Chain A
Amino acid sequence: MFKYLKQLTSLVAMVAVLFTFTTESMAAKKSKTLKNTQKKGFVRCGVSQGLPGFSNADAAGNWTGVDVDVCRAVAAAVLGDANKVKFTPLSAKERFTALTSGEIDILSRNTTWTLSRDADIGLTFVGVNFYDGQGFMVRKSSGITSTSQFKNGISACTNIGTTTELNMRDFFNSRGISYEPVAFEKADEVVAAYDAGRCDTYTTDKSGLAAQRTKMKNPDEHIVLPETISKEPLGPVVRQGDSVWEDIVRWSLNTMIEAEEYGITSANADSMKTSDNPQIKRLVGAEGEMGAAFGLDNEWNLRIIKQVGNYGESYKRNIADTGILPDRGPNELWTKGGILYVPPSR
């Protein structure tokens, strides 16, 4: 009798051990970053020190911009409230260290996706929320209308710690033009120095040029040259090694873009629950179990669309209506002649 009892207890113990293993693997699936974020009650998001249209704080300290909206979308998805975000303004130089050291959990700061960044420094890029390219700004009065008119000895103002410095060198070198690079740590100083006449041209991403032009003493005196000298796909970045968190950020962004594709807006999202199209129903949490794999409930994507809006709404609100870049160019949906194309939510 005791013999059987012994066997029985070992069996119970084995089952118990197995059970703890399964519950633990379920818990382990919930990412560490997600757990910390839910415990803290806010998403820690790294943004720029002020780039109108992308991430810019008003006098009251409210952040707006398309980069800001990515973090708000994640907050809406994982915490249920798009306002539960703590923004940390970072210089180009500080941004990756802030992310890899764990000071922030998402870096959404007009950051170019390149091979060396993705592979080297413990970062993972999750997608593209703005397709950009580097350009040049000059004074209208200079009479320059194309980069082909650049001559030896030209001085170019820019920021340090960006791909801009490298592209600039490639550009001038390939044309055999000698130039004077004047590199500042902060964007405001670049604008001030260029505006004062220290440099003949100001070079950075074209979206940045358009945004900074609005800060000049007299914006109409400056033009952005038509040439684009590089590909700059800008997007949010997360730390390497937390694939669930990476997926949450990626699909929060994708949800915004796909919602625009299917015509779901912050205004009509609730009524879309009764749509006939299963793809639309999946995007508003009315069909399928789309949140379970992330450890989230089923209406995470509905909250994003309701609280932040789709990509088109975000673009219009932050970039088009503010007069920075009214024309969406490549950042239009693939169905409307642009290159915004995301994998389907299903």
Chain B
Amino acid sequence: MTVIAVVLVFGFFTYNAQVNMENRGIDFGYGFLSQESSFDVQFSLIEYDGSHSYFRAYLVGLLNTILVSVIGIIIATILGVIVGIARLSPNYLINKFAAFYVEFFRNIPLLLQIFFWYFAALRALPLPQDAEAMFGISFLTIKGLFVPAFIWQNFNIFFYSIIAAIIAIIVIRNRAKRVQETQGKQTPVLLISIGLILILPLLSFLIGGVRLSFEVPVLKQLATTSFIYEGGVSLPPELIALALSLSLYTATFIAECVRAGIQGVGKGQKEAAASIGLTQNQVLKLVVMPQALRIIIPPTTNQYLNLTKNSSLAAAIAYPDLVLVFAGTALMQTGKAIEIVSITMFTYLSLSISISLFMNWYNNKIAITEK
């Protein structure tokens, strides 16, 4: 019954849209995706210019959306965990400072924060010719952050060495776990891991023939008062402002999730753990965190989804994300509103579902398995 109702409603809308579009002389179709886009995009992870297709412009926007979401999620998680734990700190100053941060950033609309970080911070940054070098090689200017580019030789050997190190760490961890379960002996897994991840890549430099050099950005004059850095990698200020505001905003919510999670673990649990002689660190690692995570993960998943969807506010400050490039310029140039908006909606839906599925998988993995 419900299914029939849903089908009927959708059918009605589709039919209506078709009739109206026919009346107004608009064609429907996805053929435009292979046409030449003839507009350029400021910042792209893949090779792209106006001679490529609209589909490639779509990919450029999608990758930029994913990029800013991933950066945002990583920073927001780190910051959120730190602030969340800080809110439980017995130190009055740390505690109040964390509380102030959460209340302040959580209660200002995100769009305003994006404008603030973009326009206020932008005006505060120096012009390229006035920029002070950071560590002598990086420059933070109004036109973006210019950092040295890595130029690798035999990069694949370096890459394999890191993979080898990661595999070795996993093997050692599993072994250590077994040893502890059967013989009760503890292995210093962390020290060994750090050693491996440092030594193996180092060996690839010494005997694998890997060479790394830097290309430092150089100031170039365009006109009497306009300059730009050439060479190296440049991160546009739009990306920096967007990633910064998204993570500062979302971190407040994650901090609250973390705080709630830790407070949700009964006091008796900690006391019981301490009474059997576990150290403070072991209590946190073995008793509190595994239980807190189960409370933290589901609401944090929501925050990750929010961050990804909020990244569409990028259009306001010229960061070329999916909405700006595809649902903006491409929609405008082709006039294919229904097609483009439907693709964009479907893309965001897929992104969100992917994040949900991954987080659900992780949640199931850490859930208590009752025997």
Chain A contact residues, CB within 8 Å of chain B: 92-93, 96-97, 100-101, 117, 120-122, 138-139, 141-144, 149-151, 153-155, 157, 160-162, 165-166, 168-169, 173, 179-186, 189, 192-193, 196-198, 200, 239-241
Contact B123 A141 (CB under 8 A): no
Chain B contact residues, CB within 8 Å of chain A: 20, 23-26, 38-42, 50, 119, 122-123, 127, 142-143, 220, 222-226, 228, 230, 236-238, 315-318, 320, 324, 328-329, 331-335, 337
Nearest to B122 among chain A residues (CB) is A196
User: Inside 8 A of B331's CB, which chain A residues have their CB?
Assistant: 93, 161
Contact B223 A144 (CB under 8 A): yes
- In the assembled complex, the Cα of A310 lies from the Cα of B122 at a distance in Å of 45
Nearest to A120 among chain B residues (CB) is B335
- In the complex, which of the residues B42, B127, B223, B226 contacts A182, with contact meaning CB atoms closer than 8 Å? B42
Contact A141 B225 (CB under 8 A): yes
A242 to chain B, nearest CB (A): 10
User: Inside 8 A of A120's CB, which chain B residues have their CB?
Assistant: 334-335
B39 to chain A, nearest CB (A): 5
Contact B224 A182 (CB under 8 A): no
User: Inside 8 A of A192's CB, which chain B residues have their CB?
Assistant: 119
Contact A193 B329 (CB under 8 A): no
- In the complex, which of the residues B50, B224, B317, B335 contacts A184, with contact meaning CB atoms closer than 8 Å? B317
Contact A240 B228 (CB under 8 A): no
- In the assembled complex, the Cα of A27 lies from the Cα of B316 at a distance in Å of 47
Taking each of B315, B318, B334, which has the highest tally of chain A beta carbons within 10 Å of its own beta carbon?
Answer: B318
With A153-B220, A198-B122 already in contact, 12 other A-B pairs whose C-beta atoms are closer than 8 Å:
A96-B332, A121-B26, A141-B225, A142-B222, A150-B222, A160-B328, A182-B318, A183-B329, A185-B315, A185-B324, A197-B142, A200-B223
Please name 9 pairs of A and B residues whose Cβ atoms are closer than 8 Å in the assembled complex, sorted by A.
Answer: A96-B332, A101-B20, A157-B318, A166-B38, A181-B42, A182-B236, A184-B316, A193-B122, A196-B142
Contact B324 A100 (CB under 8 A): no
Sorted nearest first, the 8 A-B pairs with minimum C-beta distance are: A161-B332, A121-B335, A143-B224, A142-B223, A122-B24, A153-B228, A122-B25, A200-B226
Contact A155 B228 (CB under 8 A): yes
Contact B228 A196 (CB under 8 A): no
Nearest to B228 among chain A residues (CB) is A153
Contact B143 A198 (CB under 8 A): yes
Nearest to B324 among chain A residues (CB) is A160
User: Inside 8 A of B337's CB, which chain A residues have their CB?
Assistant: 97
B126 to chain A, nearest CB (A): 9
- In the assembled complex, the Cα of A217 lies from the Cα of B20 at a distance in Å of 47
- In the complex, which of the residues B225, B230, B238, B335 contacts A96, with contact meaning CB atoms closer than 8 Å? B335
